[in-house]
Amino acid sequence: MFLLCSLLLALALAAVPGVRGACPQPADLKNVNGTRICARLYDKSDPYYDLCCGGAELSLEPGADMPYLPSGWKNTISSLVVAPRCELTVWSSRGKAGKTRKFSAGSYPRLEEYRRGIFGDWSNSISSLYCRCF
C-alpha cells in the first residue's frame, strides 16, 4: 500500500505544472536566433521553487571565460541552468581563485542548496566562471 501511495504521489507531482520551478528546461536554452547557449544565470531565487530563476538574466555562449564578471553580476547569481552536454565551472573569488565547483547539465533553481565549504553556499558567491560545451 505504501509503495502504491508513493508512486501515485510521484506521478501527481510530475504532472502538475510549475512543481519543478520557473527555470527553463536545459534543452530549451537557445538565443532568439536559435544559436546554442551554454548556461543562463539569474539573480533571483526564492524558497518557493516556482518563483526561482527570476530577475535579471545573463546568457553564456559556449567557451565563455569570465575571470571577472560584468558589472553588477559579481556575487549576485542565485539560480542557474546549464545546457545539455555543457559544464559550468565557478569560483568564489575574482580571477578564478578561491573555492571552485562544477555544475553539469541541469537546472539549479536554489544555489543555497549547494555547499561551498563548511559554512557557506553558492548563492550570491560566484565571482568568476568558465562555461564549455562538448
Any idea which of 56-65, 89-98, 116-125 has the lowest mean pLDDT? 116-125
Record the cell numbers describing residue 89, joined without a space: 565551472
Is residue 60 packed enough to be buried (19+ CB in 10 Å), middle (13-18) or exposed (0-12)?
buried
Q: All domains of the chain, ordered by start, with CATH?
A: 17-133 (2.60.20.10)
Is residue 42 within 8 A of residue 80, CB to CB? The reply is: yes
Distance CA 14, CA 52 (A): 18
pLDDT beyond 60 at 61: yes
Angle at 62 (CA atoms; ends 86, 111), nearest 5 degrees: 55
Closest by CA position to 131, among listed 91, 99, 71: 91
Whether residue 52 contacts residue 22, with contact meaning beta carbons closer than 8 Å, is answered with yes
Which range among 15-19, 57-61, 70-74, 123-127 shows the weakest confidence by mean pLDDT? Answer: 15-19
The confidence band for 1, taking pLDDT boundaries of 50, 70 and 90, is low
Question: Percent of the chain at pLDDT above 70?
Answer: 84
Q: Tell me, what's the pLDDT at 9?
A: 41
Contact 39, 60 (CB under 8 A): yes
In one-letter notation, the amino acid at residue 129 is L
pLDDT confidence band for 46 (50 / 70 / 90): confident
Banded model confidence at residue 47, pLDDT cuts 50, 70, 90: confident
What was the pLDDT predicted at 107?
95
- Given a cut of 80, is residue 3 above it in pLDDT? no
In the prediction, which pLDDT does 48 show? 85
